Chains A and B, each alone.
Chain A
Amino acid sequence: MTTTQENRWIGVSAPRREDAPLIRGRGRYIADIEPAGTVHMAILRSPYAHARINGIDTAAAEALDGVHCVLTADDLEGIGDFPTIWRLPGQKECTTPAFAPGKARYVGEPVAAVVADSRYLAEDALDLLDVDYEILDHVVDVEAALADGAPVINEDMGDNTIIEYTFPGINALGVAGDIDGAFEEADEIVSGRFKVGRYSGVALETRGHVAEWDDLRQTLTLHSGSQVASLLRTELAAALGIPETSVRILTPNIGGAFGNQWDRYPEDILVSLASMKLGRPVKWIEDRREALQATVHGREQLQEWQLAASSDGTVLGLKGRVLSDQGAHLHSVGIGPAWVTGAAAVNQYKIANYHCDVVGVATNKTPNSTFRGFGGPEAMFGIERMMDKTARRLGIDPAELRRRNMIQADEFPYFSPGGAVYDSGNYPAALEKALEAVEYDKVREEQQSLRDQGVYRGIGISSYIHVSGFGPSAILGILDYYTGGYEGSTVKIDPHGRATLYTGMIPMGQGTETTLAQVAADHLEIDIANVRVVWGDTDQTPYTGFGSAGSRSNVAAVAVIKAIEEIKAKAVRIGAGLLEADPDDVAYADGRISVKGAEEMRSLSLADVAQQAYWAHKLPEGDQPTLEATYVYDPANFTTACGTHVAVVDVDIDTGKIDWVKYVVVDDAGTIINPLLVEGQIHGALSNGLGGAMLEEFVYDEESGQLLSSTLMDYLVPSFTDLPDFEIHHLVTPSPHTEGGFKGMGEAGCFPAAGALANAVTDALSHLGVEADQTPVTPSRLWSLIDQAGG
């Protein structure tokens, strides 16, 4: 901490103020909002992977009693698409339209919408819509999509390659590696081909909106579960062709977002357009099938890596090609996650020579976009599998190989050949702590004797970096990412000395309200009960450049601290006047404004000063009445959370079932604001990571192009019995770049999960030579590998 007061709340597991309504069933989620006169929208989605839409007969649906309107692409005149805001050089232009543009490009793409008295009736009317589809050839495999003669999904692009982007291995100081030299010099060249499965956040609450158009005031109020209200407001106004000043976004409780709610979606436009057309509130709540078909997917990549090593285990170079299966079109963040994969793939290791080609490819699938982890887990899976393959090839223990290649604690800031600047960390210490916690040597020793008894136990190590706290905005500009990286905060002290904090962050379950209150209470040095946090109303809260994410509290917290610094300085100026002292002799401490050295005698409470600030009878020259400040903080650098996970599993070679023995986490997220909530975030992110490592997958049928896993019976999310107890240890290396030393950590848990699991499974089956190179490592997939290996 850079401030002088003792922390009473930062570092404390303060109880969550969010909980009280939620445990009573009095949360207010989007589906719970229903203004008087609300009508309900349902959406017709393409049942085909690729089909031209020659016409839609809406007459029968429109004639149904209780139907208010039917919307099709014909109603979109003057309505714009949502842009892709990450527009890398060479990337073909691609937007997100409200309806399939003349042809449907994936199963689930919106084709028409019906608004009716009830959702039941609206769905009845969907059955009456008659669409003339002309079915086209489709492609759902990324390599097939690149082959000659593949159906072209977006004709204006010419082919299915959306972008080819190269990481040339030049660090932020401009130092270039020599990748060819590294491979010439190598004693061993290790190759790997990895399929990272397609899965996503699959929040338990589906998406939804309630739009209220007021035709007299010409204003649109959108109640929305979006996790990025500021950007939604800007882009929605532009798409609808109305002034942004007319749009207000209100955010209720969000039932999980996991990055998927960061994107702008067709339905954001459709529900608003319907309300504007009808002049009454329109509500749309996604059903589960829609959620699986039409909320963005994540992750899917085909990676090919080659690693050059010397016989002593030094990694000399890494080169690779990442094919990112983008689905039918780029969504809000373009190929952003795959770009991050390319930027992060060298992970914690001193790999001076690096080259990576990232290719964004269109397929007839749901767009692949923002999901917790955002390319990082994919990168960690590839590199951590490569480290284990290399260790095995060289006959070096996988822990030892990592040890020999890790960036050391005194080598920060570290300029990675992926382009990132790592701010701080102690990677070897995290590794050793994890090995100690898991009793690595003992487990290794037992492994052999267990194997003799037919128990196939494996240990999987996976280290990670998580570049978080996106910003500074100037860097986002260099990356062609068309948004800012800042967070704003307004703090107002009322005449009684209590604080209200306005944040642009959108809480979605991670406890933002509580953590920001902790930061504010400590820096104002007042009781946390006297801090109120206001969020979720674009009419009141500051604009946030980047929008909310689980890893943004670190940036938002600094905005709070900076605003409070301004308030304290003003309180000192006002207080000095009242105390008839020189402001230099007056200090703010313990929530009081006092003359230094005479704190007992000449001292005012924050409330005393605040009351004076509101009366404004005797303000210092130049100070405005009231006591409030707004600070928009643009971070000085990204922060790099890091750590090591170790998984220990037993594999049943007759069934391919994986049983947990132990899962150890060592995590370093800098200064921790609330340990209990941090633990919760690690657990949650890990369960997202392990879900995709073991079970969760959007499976497409090659022949029909259908999404086969479009119910929760087929798309398997981890249940109580699928996940282990996690053992968590912390290291604390405060970020030198942020006030308070905080780092983003809400996503970190999912980064190493798949690598740890796959390495453990591969280790357990090393006698068979089975390599778990495709996620999810489902029992059936694993059983097939064991079977093929003759196990």
Chain B
Amino acid sequence: MAENMSVVINVNGAGRAVSVEPRKTLADAIREDLGLTGTHLGCEHGVCGACTILLDGEVVRSCLMLAVQADGAEITTIEGIADGDDLHPMQSAFSEYHGLQCGFCTPGMILAGIDVVSRNPDPSPQEIREEMGGNICRCTGYQKIVESVQAAAAVMSAEGGSA
């Protein structure tokens, strides 16, 4: 077996060093080595989007990357988007508009929603559906997620792009 490698990642604003097998996925390293279990694994082959994180500002599926590939990167996980006790508008909107049921897809959905709004501050329902097509939800039928993202977008633009 290959020897462990040391990887330094800036996670939610703090530098963290982990020692991982080269074959370990970034998702597994986030969950097991960084202890951030809000990043979920639904398929481990890049289809479902439950493991979505932001890496250097881009949405990525952390199950499709190796942890060693993230050396030197900045990542944001679901645990890093609230400002202390103040929820991110996307988090509040998902709760208010019933954009989640079992909650398993929710961290990925919220990060994907933040990404959509960061590129398109006033997305139409159809645009949201198209842009978020890489994230699967089995509980909601999506309609209430679309409503949640739209509502969050309105709050985020009113707050002047606080995302």
Within 8 A of A (CB), among B113-160: 125, 128-130, 132-133, 135-146
A347 touches B (CB below 8 Å): no
- A725–B42 contact, CB under 8 A? no
Chain B: minimal CB distance from A60 (Å): 16
Task: A511 to B141: give the CA distance in the assembly, Å.
Answer: 16
Partner of A255, one of B40, B43, B91: B40
Task: A15 to B96: give the CA distance in the assembly, Å.
Answer: 7
B19 touches A (CB below 8 Å): no
A23 touches B (CB below 8 Å): yes
Chain B: minimal CB distance from A367 (Å): 21
List of B residues within 8 angstroms of A676 by Cβ:
98
List of A residues within 8 angstroms of B105 by Cβ:
204
Within 8 A of A (CB), among B85-105: 87, 91-92, 94-96, 98, 100-105
List of A residues within 8 angstroms of B77 by Cβ:
25
List of B residues within 8 angstroms of A529 by Cβ:
none
List of B residues within 8 angstroms of A509 by Cβ:
101-103, 139
List of A residues within 8 angstroms of B92 by Cβ:
23
Chain B: minimal CB distance from A103 (Å): 30
- A288–B42 contact, CB under 8 A? yes
Known contacts A204-B138, A205-B42, A206-B42, A27 near B101 by CB under 8 Å: no
Chain A: minimal CB distance from B127 (Å): 11
- B140–A687 contact, CB under 8 A? yes
| Chain A 703-729 interface mask (CB, 8 Å, partner B; 1/0) | 000000001110001111101011000
- B104–A205 contact, CB under 8 A? yes
B56 touches A (CB below 8 Å): no
List of B residues within 8 angstroms of A27 by Cβ:
38, 103-104, 106
Partner of A204, one of B21, B102, B142: B102
B79 touches A (CB below 8 Å): yes
Chain B: minimal CB distance from A86 (Å): 26
- B79–A508 contact, CB under 8 A? no
- A25–B140 contact, CB under 8 A? no
Interface size class of A (residues with CB under 8 A): 35 or more
List of B residues within 8 angstroms of A29 by Cβ:
37, 40, 104
A694 touches B (CB below 8 Å): no
Partner of A16, one of B42, B78, B87, B98: B98
- Of A172-180, A450-458, A677-685, the one contacting chain B is A677-685
Known contacts A25-B37, A679-B98, A686 near B141 by CB under 8 Å: yes
Residue count of chain B within 8 Å CB distance of chain A: 55
Within 8 A of B (CB), among A15-48: 15-16, 18-20, 22-29, 31-32
- A719–B133 contact, CB under 8 A? yes
B8 touches A (CB below 8 Å): no
Chain A: minimal CB distance from B118 (Å): 18
Task: A635 to B55: give the CA distance in the assembly, Å.
Answer: 53
- A684–B48 contact, CB under 8 A? no
Task: A687 to B38: give the CA distance in the assembly, Å.
Answer: 25
B62 touches A (CB below 8 Å): no
List of B residues within 8 angstroms of A202 by Cβ:
138
Within 8 A of B (CB), among A506-529: 508-511
Chain A: minimal CB distance from B125 (Å): 7
Number of interchain pairs (Cβ within 8 Å): 163
Task: A253 to B106: give the CA distance in the assembly, Å.
Answer: 13
Specify the chain B residue showing the minimal Cβ separation from A124.
B1
A134 touches B (CB below 8 Å): no
Partner of B36, one of A25, A31, A201, A688: A25
Task: A404 to B136: give the CA distance in the assembly, Å.
Answer: 42
- B40–A205 contact, CB under 8 A? yes
Specify the chain B residue showing the minimal Cβ separation from A206.
B42
Known contacts A16-B95, A22-B103, A120-B24, A256 near B40 by CB under 8 Å: no
Chain A: minimal CB distance from B78 (Å): 3
Partner of B136, one of A25, A26, A717: A717
Chain B: minimal CB distance from A443 (Å): 21
A254 touches B (CB below 8 Å): yes
Chain A: minimal CB distance from B6 (Å): 18
Specify the chain B residue showing the minimal Cβ separation from A728.
B143
- B79–A24 contact, CB under 8 A? yes
- A23–B24 contact, CB under 8 A? no
B47 touches A (CB below 8 Å): yes
- A25–B79 contact, CB under 8 A? yes
Task: A725 to B21: give the CA distance in the assembly, Å.
Answer: 45
List of B residues within 8 angstroms of A254 by Cβ:
102
Partner of B78, one of A24, A204, A253, A680: A24
- B91–A508 contact, CB under 8 A? no
List of B residues within 8 angstroms of A15 by Cβ:
95-96
- A288–B103 contact, CB under 8 A? no
- A25–B42 contact, CB under 8 A? no
Task: A607 to B102: give the CA distance in the assembly, Å.
Answer: 35
Task: A335 to B45: give the CA distance in the assembly, Å.
Answer: 34
- B45–A712 contact, CB under 8 A? yes
| Chain A 191-229 interface mask (CB, 8 Å, partner B; 1/0) | 000000000011111100000000000000000000000
Task: A202 to B36: give the CA distance in the assembly, Å.
Answer: 25
- A711–B144 contact, CB under 8 A? no
B82 touches A (CB below 8 Å): yes
List of A residues within 8 angstroms of B139 by Cβ:
256, 509, 680, 684
Task: A688 to B87: give the CA distance in the assembly, Å.
Answer: 31
- B38–A24 contact, CB under 8 A? yes
- B132–A720 contact, CB under 8 A? yes
- B125–A725 contact, CB under 8 A? yes
Chain A: minimal CB distance from B62 (Å): 13
B9 touches A (CB below 8 Å): no
Known contacts A683-B140, A683-B144, A721-B129, A23 near B100 by CB under 8 Å: yes
- A19–B128 contact, CB under 8 A? no
Partner of A288, one of B23, B43, B125: B43
- B103–A203 contact, CB under 8 A? no
B44 touches A (CB below 8 Å): yes
- A680–B140 contact, CB under 8 A? yes
Chain B: minimal CB distance from A280 (Å): 18
- B45–A508 contact, CB under 8 A? no
B60 touches A (CB below 8 Å): no
A287 touches B (CB below 8 Å): yes
Known contacts A204-B50, A721-B129, A687 near B142 by CB under 8 Å: yes
A381 touches B (CB below 8 Å): no
B110 touches A (CB below 8 Å): yes
- Sorted nearest first, the 3 A-B pairs with minimum C-beta distance are A25-B38, A509-B102, A255-B104
A sample of 23 inter-chain contacts (CB < 8 A) reads A15-B95, A23-B92, A24-B82, A25-B39, A25-B107, A27-B106, A29-B37, A32-B37, A201-B138, A202-B138, A203-B104, A204-B105, A253-B102, A255-B42, A256-B104, A679-B144, A680-B144, A683-B140, A683-B143, A711-B45, A712-B43, A712-B48, A719-B133
Beyond A24-B38, A253-B102, list 7 extra A-B contacts (CB 8 Å).
A23-B100, A25-B38, A255-B103, A256-B138, A680-B101, A683-B144, A723-B143
